[in-house]
A and B are shown apart, each in its own frame.
Chain A
Amino acid sequence: MAAELRPPLILDPESEGDSAEGEDIFTGSTSPSEMDSTKISGNSSKTNGIHSDDEQDIFAEATVELSLDSPENGNQTKPSTAGLTVTVPPGSAIQSQTKIYQELEEEEVEDEEDQFDVNVTVTEPEKVGDGMAAYMAYKVSTLTSLSIFKRKDFSVKRRFSDFLGLYDRLSEKHSHNGFIVPPPPEKSLIGMTKVKVGKEDSSSAEFLERRRAALERYLQRIIKHPTLLQDPDVREFLEKDELPRAVNTQALSGASLLRMVNKAADAVSKMTIKMNESDIWFEEKFQEIENEDQQIRKLHAVVETLVNHRKELAMNTAIFAKSAAMLGSSEDHTALSRALSQLAEVEEKIEQLYHEQANNDFFLFAELLSDYIRLISAVRGVFDQRMKAWQRWQDAQTTLQKKRENEARLIWANKPDRLQQAKDEISEWEPKVLQCERDFERISLTIRKEVARFEKEQIKDFKSRIIVYLETLQNSQQQLIKYWEAFLPEAKAIA
């Protein structure tokens, strides 16, 4: 198991100078055989443009650190990390970026083929307190072999606002770098009020189950994300016994998030025209995502209708069953009377089936779609962040240009006393422009990776959930067959 390799496979923030920039990409276990350190180092040594600005090879300044299964004596690789860190030198050409994406994507694939060594569940919603101050506490249990955690098997109690608080912090830190932070489930005033008030009916039980399952999926998505798993806030959330109460979680409720993203989307569509050709990928991808968003929402609405109709069907089946039973009891032919009663019984059993099926329609299908409606909003959000980064770069360039013009004017007007200040300002802004450009390229790179990862996760997610859903439909049909097969001889027995 890759997990048992020594030294620890996870990037240790101290040993990585670049961690602050959030460029750590690979975490999680890797088997060394899949990462050929010598090959990569070989690449960088072949090209000599370590300090060259127009060097096409992006790996020129790359550093790779891996750990091996059986460390041989005198192996050159530095221990302590298995992560691949890539520093993109300034001014790298866009063309070679595609090469990076491909290689990164390949490595990403290799990563995910390994076992995932942390698992999180959310269970046991428990009411704490009374009246309107009451809240639900959920047990968050973690099972892990990763050494970033203090223990292997532990749980904590968290409330809904804690989950929202986690999202706020992660989003603040990572969204503007282009990372797709999975959004939490939405607040529900009505749902929670019912629970607080102590209404113990099926609708509040359903609400709690829905929320519990959604919170679990939310956490699972976070820990699957290699960068987010590294975030200390995530570790603290999973491990720390008591968290400070998260306030102001109103800021990112589903509705306001949506409003923000919609405004952003409009901005994006206005700006993309100004972008240059090499960003066709972003333009096309954004459009794809917009289209997908529309269709997923539509699909979600129809599936919700199906849920309701299925519930109605269950209800009408039960009502008919009672009516058939009444008819049977007033039928004066004995055998027919019995058959009608049995028909009533069959229909009652079928009602149960339909009710369960409606739950499956909801929890397996509708909820999957509503997760993705939120996730797609997050994806659109990072595109907006990229736009903002681009805008900052443009603004910086404009400012620099103005400063240069100012300098030129001063030179022509021969005002040497102000000239120094102008020169200072220029040397202040030149690196800023460079930094903005780097930021922009970095966020673009991250987004490409994130989108690839998102798409991969999406198909896995959809496939596994829909397969489970179809299996429940399959079970339903098998049950139906049993019921009707039992009834048929009764009907034939009418003499």
Chain B
Amino acid sequence: PGASLAAAAMMQEGLDDGPDFLSEEDRGPRPVIVDLQTDAILQVDISDALSERDKVKFTVHTKSTLPNFKQDEFSVVRQHEEFVWLHDAFVENEDYAGYVIPPAPPKPDFDASRDKLQKLGEGEGSMTKEEFTKMKQELEAEYLAIFKKTVAMHEVFLCRVAAHPVLRNDLNFHIFLEYNQDLSIRGKNKKEKLEDFFKNMVKTADEVLVGGVKDVDDFFEHEKTFLLEYNNRIKDAAVKADKLTKSHKNVADDNSRISSTLHTLGTQDSTDLCKFFLKVSELFEKTRKIEARVSADEDLKLSDLLRYYLRESQAGKDLLYRRARSLVDYENANKLLDRSRAKNKDVLQAETNQQLCCQKFEKLSESAKQELIDFKTRRVAAFRKNLVELAELELKHSKGHLQLLQSCLVALKGDN
């Protein structure tokens, strides 16, 4: 099934207030990003999206006063792989070694939702028309929610890049935003995939080696210890939050089935008992809506938050690793210089090399420090916002649920 963001917005009006996603991207006017140095504006968002059979097409919309661009406002269509390409380009760029690279958005995954829709279609004959319609609506809402989420994640990535003082000026980024033809990112072939695999293995091994060395600098030593533990724990919390959300969803679904069965019981006759069943059936259906909302909001404010900062903390770890690597290179260059001086051979070359390594390391360290401090600020702000919103939404739903129960009880008791 296909869906476009415009259609999604229309559908959303039919439902109750839709969930909002990560803190950085509320639908509506974008925060305008002004570069204080050049006084240029750069605003990026995903204005539309189309979901086709096995891919999603994002319409990336840019508003900018930067001289680099031909126009002030323009749009291009991009797919997920192109976002990944952009991310990888940043990672591979040595100049950006000192930055926390904004994590790539996760791949849009409609498989589960599609499977469910298919199963529903197959099972159409075995359920009543009402049940079928109800389930179809639920699944469509689910599909829609996943769709909106993936749009949000891709948008967050672009906004993070646009907000970064250096990355926003990256040439690849500008090409990504402006080049209105297919970037022709071909997927990696087998050989390249294998290379990637080995690169990762080496990296992991390296991380262990490098991570074991105690850093002279207190700040970085602390950051290393912190990020390592934090990354593990947030990974665990994200997994557990997912399970929690799923459990809530199961309870919501059960309420729906109870409602359906009560409805069947209630429509068999028009006795008092049947009227009673119908009232209770209605209660359970409304309960289902509330529980589904609770589940969705927990997913948004808790699970998504944790998953995002898991990726960011991983990017932070990567940064630390790069710095550590650079430090090792610097130390090796020092040793080489000493040996050269001792043998009095190739001293100049060794000196230049050592100086380069030193500069690289120091530049990296300086930017890494700032980036990690910014990371902390962002993290704390995001957690605060999401936890507050989580609590507010939980309160809203509980109050709604309470009111629902109270009015139902009044109605049921009043019948006596």
Chain A CB within 8 A of B255 CB: yes
Chain A CB within 8 A of B243 CB: yes
Contact B387 A320, beta carbon cutoff 8 Å: no
Other-chain residue from A302, A466, A474, A478 in contact with B261 (beta carbon distance below 8 A): A302
How far, in Å, is A240 (CB) from chain B's closest CB?
A: 37
Chain B CB within 8 A of A473 CB: yes
In the complex, A331→B387 CA distance in Å? 15
Chain A CB within 8 A of B179 CB: no
Contact A478 B402, beta carbon cutoff 8 Å: yes
Contact B405 A310, beta carbon cutoff 8 Å: no
Contact B230 A299, beta carbon cutoff 8 Å: no
Contact A313 B280, beta carbon cutoff 8 Å: no
Contact B416 A463, beta carbon cutoff 8 Å: yes
Contact B412 A470, beta carbon cutoff 8 Å: yes
Most-contacted residue by chain B among A336, A343, A481, A484 (CB, 10 A): A484
Chain B CB within 8 A of A106 CB: no
In the complex, A103→B368 CA distance in Å? 91
Chain A residue with the shortest CB-CB distance to B277: A462
Contacts of B264 in A (CB 8 A): 295
In the complex, A84→B289 CA distance in Å? 53
Other-chain residue from B233, B234, B251, B390 in contact with A313 (beta carbon distance below 8 A): B251
Contact A491 B388, beta carbon cutoff 8 Å: yes
Contact B276 A459, beta carbon cutoff 8 Å: yes
Contact A292 B268, beta carbon cutoff 8 Å: yes
Contacts of B405 in A (CB 8 A): 470, 473-474, 477
Chain B CB within 8 A of A467 CB: yes
Other-chain residue from A298, A317, A327 in contact with B244 (beta carbon distance below 8 A): A317
Contact A470 B409, beta carbon cutoff 8 Å: yes
Chain A residue with the shortest CB-CB distance to B266: A295
In the complex, A305→B250 CA distance in Å? 9
* Known contacts A478-B402, A484-B391; A299/B384 CB under 8 A: no
Contact A299 B258, beta carbon cutoff 8 Å: yes
Contacts of A491 in B (CB 8 A): 384, 387-388, 390-391
Other-chain residue from A295, A306, A327 in contact with B254 (beta carbon distance below 8 A): A306
Stretch from B14-22, B109-117, B318-326, B393-401 that touches the partner? B393-401
Contact A310 B251, beta carbon cutoff 8 Å: yes
Interface residues of B in 289-313 (CB under 8 A from A): none
Chain A CB within 8 A of B392 CB: yes
Interface residues of A in 468-495 (CB under 8 A from B): 470-471, 473-474, 477-478, 480-481, 484-485, 487-488, 491-492, 494
Other-chain residue from B230, B384, B392 in contact with A331 (beta carbon distance below 8 A): B230
Contact A302 B412, beta carbon cutoff 8 Å: no
Contacts of B139 in A (CB 8 A): none
Chain B residue with the shortest CB-CB distance to A480: B398
Contact A326 B387, beta carbon cutoff 8 Å: no
Contacts of B394 in A (CB 8 A): 480, 484
* Known contacts A323-B233, A481-B402; A339/B409 CB under 8 A: no
Chain A residue with the shortest CB-CB distance to B381: A494
Chain B residue with the shortest CB-CB distance to A309: B250
Chain A residue with the shortest CB-CB distance to B258: A302
Chain A CB within 8 A of B50 CB: no
Contacts of A75 in B (CB 8 A): none
In the complex, A310→B280 CA distance in Å? 19
Chain A CB within 8 A of B95 CB: no
Chain A CB within 8 A of B160 CB: no
Interface residues of B in 224-246 (CB under 8 A from A): 226, 229-230, 233-234, 236-237, 239-241, 243-244, 246
Chain A CB within 8 A of B199 CB: no
In the complex, A335→B381 CA distance in Å? 11
Chain B CB within 8 A of A238 CB: no
Other-chain residue from B234, B387, B409 in contact with A471 (beta carbon distance below 8 A): B409
Contacts of A323 in B (CB 8 A): 233, 236-237, 239-241
Contact B243 A320, beta carbon cutoff 8 Å: yes
Contacts of B254 in A (CB 8 A): 302, 305-306, 309
Contacts of B413 in A (CB 8 A): 467
Contacts of B258 in A (CB 8 A): 299, 302-303, 306
Contacts of A305 in B (CB 8 A): 254, 257
Contacts of A330 in B (CB 8 A): 226, 229-230, 233
Chain B residue with the shortest CB-CB distance to A314: B247
Contacts of B250 in A (CB 8 A): 309, 312-313
In the complex, A134→B264 CA distance in Å? 45
Interface residues of B in 372-416 (CB under 8 A from A): 376, 379-380, 383-384, 387-388, 390-392, 394-395, 398-399, 401-402, 405-406, 408-409, 412-413, 415-416
Chain B CB within 8 A of A173 CB: no
Contact B233 A470, beta carbon cutoff 8 Å: no
In the complex, A463→B413 CA distance in Å? 8
Chain A CB within 8 A of B283 CB: yes
Contact A487 B391, beta carbon cutoff 8 Å: yes
Contacts of A303 in B (CB 8 A): 258
Contact A316 B409, beta carbon cutoff 8 Å: no
How far, in Å, is B406 (CB) from chain A's closest CB?
A: 7
In the complex, A359→B379 CA distance in Å? 39
Q: A95-130, CB under 8 A of B: which get 1 and which 0?
A: 000000000000000000000000000000000000
How far, in Å, is A360 (CB) from chain B's closest CB?
A: 13
Contacts of B408 in A (CB 8 A): 470
How far, in Å, is B80 (CB) from chain A's closest CB?
A: 29
Other-chain residue from A299, A339, A458, A466 in contact with B412 (beta carbon distance below 8 A): A466
In the complex, A310→B56 CA distance in Å? 36
Contacts of B246 in A (CB 8 A): 316
In the complex, A476→B268 CA distance in Å? 32
Other-chain residue from B265, B383, B406, B409 in contact with A336 (beta carbon distance below 8 A): B383
Chain A CB within 8 A of B93 CB: no
Chain B residue with the shortest CB-CB distance to A365: B258
Chain B CB within 8 A of A242 CB: no
How far, in Å, is B106 (CB) from chain A's closest CB?
A: 21
In the complex, A455→B272 CA distance in Å? 10
Chain B CB within 8 A of A319 CB: yes
Chain A CB within 8 A of B9 CB: no
Contacts of B273 in A (CB 8 A): 455, 458-459, 462
Contacts of A463 in B (CB 8 A): 276, 412, 415-416
Interface residues of A in 412-462 (CB under 8 A from B): 455, 458-459, 462
* Known contacts A320-B240, A491-B387; A327/B276 CB under 8 A: no
Contacts of A316 in B (CB 8 A): 240, 243-244, 246-247
Chain B residue with the shortest CB-CB distance to A346: B391
Contacts of B280 in A (CB 8 A): 466
Chain A residue with the shortest CB-CB distance to B255: A306
Other-chain residue from B240, B261, B383 in contact with A299 (beta carbon distance below 8 A): B261
Chain B CB within 8 A of A324 CB: yes
Chain B CB within 8 A of A151 CB: no
Q: Besides the contacts A327-B230, A494-B383, what 16 more A-B pairs have beta carbons closer than 8 Å?
A: A292-B265, A295-B268, A306-B251, A312-B247, A313-B248, A319-B243, A327-B233, A327-B234, A327-B237, A332-B230, A455-B271, A467-B409, A474-B402, A477-B405, A488-B395, A492-B384
* For the complex of A and B, 6 pairs with smallest distance between CB atoms: A313-B247, A491-B387, A306-B254, A494-B384, A477-B402, A320-B240
Where the two chains meet, the residues of A that have a C-beta atom closer than 8 Å to any C-beta of B are 288, 291-292, 295-296, 298-299, 302-303, 305-306, 309-310, 312-313, 316-317, 319-320, 323-324, 326-327, 330-333, 335-336, 339-340, 343, 455, 458-459, 462-463, 466-467, 470-471, 473-474, 477-478, 480-481, 484-485, 487-488, 491-492, 494
* 24 A-B pairs in the complex with CB atoms less than 8 angstroms apart: A295-B265, A316-B247, A320-B237, A320-B240, A323-B241, A324-B237, A326-B237, A327-B237, A330-B229, A330-B233, A332-B222, A336-B380, A340-B383, A459-B272, A459-B273, A467-B412, A473-B405, A474-B402, A477-B398, A477-B401, A480-B394, A488-B391, A491-B391, A494-B387
